[in-house]
Amino acid sequence: MNKTKGDIQTKKDIVFLVDNFYDTIKDDDLIADIFNKHMDLSFEDHLPVMYSFWQSVLLGTSSYKGNVMLAHIKLNKKVPLKESHFNRWVELWNSAIDNSFEGEIAEEAKKRAHVMKELMLFKIKQSDEKGFIQ
């Protein structure tokens, strides 16, 4: 019997997705060090923030209260974030989605990650310029 994957619909789905995604990041050759050595938060502190962020983005809960762009600009000052890092992040995110979900919201999650990658790369580059305003 072939069971089809469901779409992302609940907080439980978001938690499952984010946990699986970060499990792959922790050991990734390209981006693990960024998360393991250079972030100001431990994974235990970071994960609930990511649950809220993705719930807000995908389920419209308005539970996220941070500034994702500023966090990445600050992180870039510690360790230069390159396009290859963001490409790998998107690749792992999409894989985590594809492994467990399919549907409209799952596809939206992949689109949003791609858009965030592009916006972050742009803003990080701009943050290095004189007179940058966040």
Could you write out the DSSP letters of every residue in 74-101?
Answer: HHHHHS---HHHHHHHHHHHHHHHHHHB
User: Does pTM top 0.85 for this prediction?
Assistant: yes
Residues in contact with 98: Cβ distance below 8 Å, sequence separation at least 6, in sequence order? 106
- Inside any domain, residue 2: no
Query: What are residue 82's phi and psi, to 5 degrees?
Result: -105, 165
Task: Quickly tell me which residue has 């499952």 as its tokens.
Answer: 16
- In a domain, residue 98? The reply is yes
What is the pLDDT at residue 21? Answer: 96
- Residue count (the chain): 134
Overall number of domains in the chain: 1
Domain assignment present for residue 3? The answer is no
Average pLDDT for 76-83: 91
* Domain region containing 75: 11-127
Average pLDDT over residues 60-70: 85
Is residue 4 assigned to a domain?
A: no
Q: Comparing C-alpha atoms, which of 45, 2, 122, 10 is closest to residue 35?
A: 45
Number of neighbouring beta carbons within 10 Å of residue 3: 5
Q: Evaluate whether residue 85 is within a structural domain.
A: yes
In a domain, 1, yes or no: no
Query: Is residue 40 domain-resident?
Result: yes
pLDDT recorded at residue 46? 86
Tokens 């972050």 label which residue?
A: 120
Q: Does some domain include residue 5?
A: no
Domain CATH code at residue 29: 1.10.490.10
